[in-house]
């Protein structure tokens, strides 16, 4: 789905069209927020792939990180809490010539939106989902999130979290995602590779990003991750090996892996949906002109 | 208007709907108008289910007030339905299954013992074939030609060719001839009456109307009584080029439809009250992002899970109020399949024209029952203009530009130079947020107000372009019925009955329940002398809306919330009380 200019019949052929850059809206995140690294990586990945900005749609839900679409020059849909993925899926099915990204936080994707997360992955919809995982609710000023650490004290858990955190990587592997990666917003170059490869991957690409909240999470800080992360690419991990990916997904503690856990080729939902074989739905004929024979079934 | 009504009853799993639908289709192919009532329970096997095909040389729009032939597959069917039989009526049964003597039946009703199981054994050991002999005997009594019955049965098996078709043809002929030898035709039996009619359920008409209006995407989660909209569309998905997505829940269903619409296809979802409750937040998002979407809400008895297989008009308040804050919407309420077909075309037109969610209020009674439609009533030639209407010129494009109508030019992703972000937060004309660092700043306080005004002013435009209130019947009638949705059908039948008794009434119906054009509604009520509000809910929800919007209070009411559809005699009785 790279470099496509087939998203609209009016797109010029051979005419260089602007690629995705910054919009004229400045991010409103706290100084030092991890999400700056993520928007930079997404922008660079889209630039590297030379996808025209009008062929890109970035879809988000609600939360600090879900403001991201406003900071890029592509099309965007900034919807409601937890529902970015079904909107993104609908966009893909309406026009699979478009490059569609979902962006959001851990509360948005693994809390209120957990059901959609699982189902979008099992469908292998061809889109890229980037989560800015800060293990806290930031925009609502610091409550526990689905990925907050056991025992972590927050405004909603003054005596410490007493629920096990979700492991987004393991959940993605279990749900059938065909590209499962983890990045760190403290390493934008590495993250850019993961996002760019995810966009190029044919199928559901999930990139969970450690994107520290500098205001409300004093545990999972930039330093916390800098001291612990190591790259799977440098550790001899084979991303075609699902069992190895499972084992790596369970690693947490002094050493935490980032990089590509798993990648596999499987037909996408769009490829398996017979109606879409005739081209993007948005450009297919509509209505029932001349289809009077259709009424015979009611006689 | 002459009519005949055939009922068939038994347990879930007995094939009752299939027998009933075949009888209904025989009538519609005879050129008669039919109302087919499919009454069932929330069980897959057992319980009691029944189907009634009411045929007429007029136009029946309700189940009517009695039956003439009852084909009983079990004894409890006799116990439940014998009292509904009109003089001259017959009960078809198999004495091998249960005994039935004339003395067991009301005066004027005869039993007809048909050896349906014995007939079936001639062909197969499968006892389901007993229905063949039963439907044959029933068809004879009802005046259905045997050749027609055979055509309908053969067509209903369709591609399931093989011995089962021949067995059914044989068994039904045996049953037909048995009845011919042992009984006469029912006194109300009708003769063929012109060109075959189309027989369809409300949900089939809804799906067909959507496809005709250019719908290319339906996402839905199964919920009675909306589910068969998805069934019809899925069965025609490939041939019509409509993507049908069964979503993981109703939250996803409506968000997928909104996403697809945003990206340039006409989209819809359908559900019942429970699922619609889950869609409430998204409805506001469609209103705020100004994304067209059509939502069919097929009501059933509430509250909560309520009576899943029974009807009600209890969700009007919910549809009116669904979503936090205020945004424009419309609620269309068709009464019959023919109207439902046109309502879907109106709904897609309005959604597109006003870039906002449009609701179509159906209910179980309309969605799942069968009615006939004249072929000429279904015009498939609906204009479906391209949605790519904003030129890709790259100049400063304002997705949410302030305009006189409140409608702004809508670009579609993929168009060069028109990029924007659709925001569910409050935003300016470009789509930029005014919810965070601009919130509460004087310039943006007034911008927020202008943006609300822009969106809300669409309501006046919708009220002007949606179908307004309709008068039916003589202008100077002493009593005007007021009704909306499927209740209109029973009111029309009651009016016919009242007229045959020399009582003149008329009807003021509301194909658009909301928004109401106050001036039009006041002008309509200025022509009434006395009114009777007929609604399928406890509190008279439409009456309340009417009073809130116009100050008009309708004191005479007939409200029903027992799960059953209105019957004409109930409306006649209440009308006579207030006249």
Domain end among B435, B466, B497: B466
Residue B383 belongs to some domain of the structure: no
Residues B212, B178, single domain; the answer is no
pLDDT value for B218:
98
How big is the A-B interface in CB pairs under 8 Å?
223
Range of weakest confidence among B126-130, B366-370, B459-463: B126-130
Separation CA B251–CA B105 (nearest Å): 52
pLDDT value for B395:
65
Domain end among B377, B396, B425: B377
Q: What's the pLDDT tens digit per position in B260-285? A: 999 999 999 999 999 999 999 999 99
Q: What's the pLDDT tens digit per position in B119-158? A: 999 999 999 999 999 999 999 999 999 999 999 999 998 7
- Which of A69, A95, A278 comes nearest B241 by C-beta? A278
Residues B397, B330, single domain; the answer is no
Check if the beta carbon of residue B91 is closer than 8 Å to that of residue B100.
yes
pLDDT value for B392:
72
Residue A276 contacts B where some CB pair is shorter than 8 Å: yes
Residues B160, B221, single domain; the answer is no
Check if the beta carbon of residue B179 is closer than 8 Å to that of residue B350.
no
Q: Which of residues 406-425 of B touch A (CB under 8 A)?
A: 412-425
- Starting from the edge strand earliest in sequence, which strands make up the sheet with B470-472, in order? B470-472, B505-509, B479-483, B531-535, B557-559
Check if the beta carbon of residue B513 is closer than 8 Å to that of residue B361.
yes
User: Is the pTM value of this prediction over 0.95?
Assistant: yes
> Left (φ > 0), alpha (ψ -120 to 50) or beta: where does B476 sit?
alpha
Q: In Å, how far is A8's CA from the nearest CA of chain B?
A: 5
CATH architecture of A35-298: 3-Layer(aba) Sandwich (3.40)
pLDDT value for B390:
87
Residue B398 contacts A where some CB pair is shorter than 8 Å: no
Separation CA A199–CA B440 (nearest Å): 39
Residues B211, B322, single domain; the answer is yes
Residues B459, B483, single domain; the answer is no
Mean pLDDT across A22-44:
97
Separation CA B534–CA B553 (nearest Å): 13
pLDDT value for A17:
79
- Which of B245, B380, B420 comes nearest A289 by C-beta? B380
Q: In Å, how far is B101's CA from the nearest CA of chain A?
A: 39
pLDDT value for B157:
86
Residues B402, B484, single domain; the answer is no
Among all chains, which residue has been given the structure tokens 């006395």? B530
CATH number at residue B222: 3.40.50.970
Residues B352, B406, single domain; the answer is no
- With beta carbons under 8 A apart, name residues in chain A contacting B248: 115-116, 118-119
- Which of A7, A53, A90 comes nearest B257 by C-beta? A90
pLDDT value for A14:
54
From A122, which residue of chain B is nearest by alpha-carbon distance? B248
Q: How many domains does chain B have?
A: 4
Per the prediction, chain B carries an average pLDDT of 96
Residue B39 belongs to some domain of the structure: yes
pLDDT value for A8:
54
Residue B406 belongs to some domain of the structure: yes
| pLDDT value at B39 more than 50 | yes
Q: Which of residues 227-256 of B touch A (CB under 8 A)?
A: 236-238, 240-243, 245, 247-249, 251-253, 255-256
Q: What's the pLDDT tens digit per position in A244-262? A: 999 999 999 999 999 999 9
Among all chains, which residue has been given the structure tokens 């007021």? B482
| pLDDT value at B544 more than 70 | yes
pLDDT value for A2:
36
- The proportion of chain B whose per-residue pLDDT surpasses 70, expressed as a percent, equals 99
pLDDT value for A5:
42
Separation CA B415–CA B392 (nearest Å): 6
> First CA to last CA across chain A, in angstroms?
45
Q: What's the pLDDT tens digit per position in A86-138? A: 999 999 999 999 999 999 999 999 999 999 999 999 999 999 999 999 999 99
Residue A272 contacts B where some CB pair is shorter than 8 Å: no
Residue B382 belongs to some domain of the structure: no
Q: Which two tokens stand for residue B451?
A: 């943006």
- With beta carbons under 8 A apart, name residues in chain A contacting B158: none
Mean pLDDT across B97-109:
97
Q: Which of residues 109-168 of A touch B (CB under 8 A)?
A: 115-116, 118-119
- Which of B236, B249, B258 comes nearest A87 by C-beta? B258
- Which of B216, B248, B424 comes nearest A286 by C-beta? B216
Mean pLDDT across B532-550:
98
Max CA separation in chain B (angstroms): 90
pLDDT value for B394:
58
Max CA separation in chain A (angstroms): 73
Q: Which residues contact A277 (CB under 8 A, 6 or more apart)?
A: none
> Cis link prior to B303 (omega < 30° from 0)?
yes
Residues B232, B371, single domain; the answer is yes
Q: In Å, how far is B25's CA from the nearest CA of chain A?
A: 7
Check if the beta carbon of residue B465 is closer than 8 Å to that of residue B515.
no
| pLDDT value at A220 more than 90 | yes
- With beta carbons under 8 A apart, name residues in chain A contacting B433: 25, 67, 70, 78
Mean pLDDT across B68-76:
98
Residues B419, B489, single domain; the answer is no
- The proportion of chain B whose per-residue pLDDT surpasses 90, expressed as a percent, equals 96
- Enumerate the H helices of A206-253 as residue ranges: 222-228, 242-249
> Per the CB < 8 Å rule, is B238 touching A274?
yes
| pLDDT value at A11 more than 50 | no
HSE at residue B541, side-chain half, CA atoms within 13 A, is 19
| Per-residue DSSP letter, A270 | H
- With beta carbons under 8 A apart, name residues in chain B contacting A17: 416
pLDDT value for B158:
78
Q: What's the pLDDT tens digit per position in A164-217? A: 999 999 999 999 999 999 999 999 999 999 999 999 999 999 999 999 999 999
- With beta carbons under 8 A apart, name residues in chain A contacting B243: 93, 273, 275-276, 281
CATH number at residue B571: 3.40.50.920
Residues B258, B403, single domain; the answer is no
> Which whole-number Å values give the CA distances from B434 to B356, B430, B446, B448, B452, in the listed order?
21, 11, 11, 8, 13
Q: What's the pLDDT tens digit per position in B500-540? A: 999 999 999 999 999 999 999 999 999 999 999 999 999 99
Residues B187, B328, single domain; the answer is no
**Residue B375, Cβ neighbours under 10 Å: how many?**
15
Sorting pLDDT into bands at 50, 70 and 90, what band is A6? very low
For chain A, the structural domain boundaries read: 35-298
- Of A183, A171, A181, nearest to A264 (Cα)? A181
Per the prediction, chain A carries an average pLDDT of 95
Which structural domain range is residue B76 located in?
Answer: 3-196
Residues B164, B277, single domain; the answer is no
What are the φ and ψ backbone dihedral angles of A168, each rounded to 5 degrees? -60, -35
């Amino acid at each position: 789905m790279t470099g496509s200019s087939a998203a609209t019949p009016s797109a010029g052929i051979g005419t260089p069209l602007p690629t995705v850059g910054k919009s004229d809206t400045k991010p409103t995140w706290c100084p030092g927020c991890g999400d700056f690294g993520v928007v930079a990586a997404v922008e660079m990945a889209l630039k590297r792939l030379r996808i025209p900005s009008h062929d890109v749609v970035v879809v988000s839900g609600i939360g600090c990180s879900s403001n991201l679409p406003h900071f890029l020059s592509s099309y965007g849909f900034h919807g409601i809490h937890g529902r970015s993925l079904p909107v993104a899926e609908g966009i893909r099915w309406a026009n699979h010539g478009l490059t569609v990204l979902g962006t959001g936080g851990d509360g948005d994707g693994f809390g209120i939106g957990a059901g959609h997360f699982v189902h979008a992955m099992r469908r292998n919809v061809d889109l890229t989902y980037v989560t800015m995982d800060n293990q806290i609710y930031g925009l609502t000023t610091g409550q526990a999130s689905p990925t907050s650490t056991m025992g972590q004290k927050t405004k909603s858990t003054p005596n410490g979290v007493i629920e096990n955190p979700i492991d987004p990587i393991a959940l993605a592997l279990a749900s059938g995602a065909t590209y499962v990666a983890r990045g760190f917003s403290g390493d934008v170059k590495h993250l850019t590779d993961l996002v760019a490869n995810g966009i190029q991957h044919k199928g559901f690409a999930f990139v969970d990003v450690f994107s520290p909240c500098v205001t409300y999470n004093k545990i999972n800080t930039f330093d916390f991750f800098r001291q612990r992360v190591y790259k799977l690419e440098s550790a001899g991990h084979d991303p075609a090996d699902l069992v190895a990916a499972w084992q790596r997904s369970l690693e947490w503690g002094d050493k935490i892996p980032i990089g590509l856990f798993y990648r596999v080729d499987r037909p996408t939902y769009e490829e398996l949906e017979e109606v879409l074989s005739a081209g993007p739905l948005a450009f297919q004929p509509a209505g029932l002109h001349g289809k009077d024979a259709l009424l015979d079934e009611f006689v | 208007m002459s009519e005949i009504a055939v009922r068939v009853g038994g347990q879930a799993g007995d094939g009752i709907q299939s027998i009933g639908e075949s009888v209904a289709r025989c009538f519609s192919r005879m050129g008669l108008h039919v109302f087919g009532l499919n009454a069932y329970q929330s069980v897959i096997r057992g319980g009691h289910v029944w189907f009634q095909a009411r045929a007429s040389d007029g136009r029946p729009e309700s189940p009517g007030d009695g039956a003439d032939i009852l084909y009983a597959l079990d004894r409890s069917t006799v116990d439940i339905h014998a009292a509904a039989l009109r003089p001259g009526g017959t009960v078809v049964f198999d004495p091998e299954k249960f005994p039935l003597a004339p003395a067991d039946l009301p005066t004027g009703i005869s039993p007809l013992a048909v050896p349906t199981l014995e007939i079936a054994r001639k062909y197969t050991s499968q006892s389901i074939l007993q229905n063949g002999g039963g439907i044959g005997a029933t068809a004879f009594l009802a005046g259905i030609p045997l050749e027609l019955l055979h055509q309908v049965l053969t067509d209903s098996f369709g591609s399931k060719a093989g011995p089962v078709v021949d067995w059914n043809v044989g068994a039904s002929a045996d049953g037909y001839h048995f009845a011919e030898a042992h009984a006469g035709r029912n006194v109300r039996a009708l003769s063929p009456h012109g060109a075959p009619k189309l027989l369809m359920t409300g949900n089939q008409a809804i799906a067909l109307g959507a496809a005709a209006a250019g719908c290319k995407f339906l996402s839905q989660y199964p919920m009675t009584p909306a589910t068969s909209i998805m069934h019809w569309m899925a069965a025609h998905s490939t041939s019509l080029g409509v993507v049908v997505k069964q979503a993981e829940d109703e939250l996803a269903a409506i968000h997928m439809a909104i996403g697809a619409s945003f990206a340039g296809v006409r989209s819809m979802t359908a559900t019942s009250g429970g699922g619609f409750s889950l869609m409430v937040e998204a409805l506001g998002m469609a209103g705020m992002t100004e994304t067209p979407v059509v939502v069919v809400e097929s009501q059933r008895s509430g509250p909560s899970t309520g009576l899943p297989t029974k009807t009600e008009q209890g969700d009007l308040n919910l549809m009116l109020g669904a979503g936090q804050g205020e945004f424009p919407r419309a609620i269309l309420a068709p009464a019959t399949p023919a109207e439902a077909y046109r309502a879907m075309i109106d709904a897609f037109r309005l959604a597109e024209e006003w870039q906002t969610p449009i609701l179509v209020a159906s209910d179980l009674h309309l969605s799942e029952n069968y009615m006939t439609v004249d072929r000429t009533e279904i015009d498939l030639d609906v204009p479906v203009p391209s949605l790519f209407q904003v030129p890709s010129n790259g100049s400063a494009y304002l997705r949410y530009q302030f305009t006189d109508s409140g409608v702004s030019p809508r670009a579609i992703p993929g168009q060069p130079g028109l990029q924007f972000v659709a925001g569910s937060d409050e935003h300016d004309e470009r789509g930029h947020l005014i919810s965070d660092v601009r919130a509460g700043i004087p310039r943006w306080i007034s911008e927020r107000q202008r943006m609300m005004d822009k969106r809300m002013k669409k309501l006046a435009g919708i009220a002007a372009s949606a179908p307004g209130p309709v008068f039916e019947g003589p202008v100077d009638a002493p009593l005007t019925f007021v009704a909306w949705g499927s209740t209109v059908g029973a009111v029309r039948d009651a009016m016919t009955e009242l007229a045959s008794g020399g009582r003149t009434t008329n009807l003021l119906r509301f194909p658009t329940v909301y928004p109401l054009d106050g001036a039009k509604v006041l002008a309509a009520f200025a022509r009434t002398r006395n009114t009777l509000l007929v609604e399928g809910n406890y509190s008279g929800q439409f009456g309340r809306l009417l009073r809130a919007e116009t100050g008009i209070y309708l004191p005479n009411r007939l409200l029903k919330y027992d799960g059953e559809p209105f019957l004409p005699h109930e409306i006649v009785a209440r009308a006579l009380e207030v006249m």
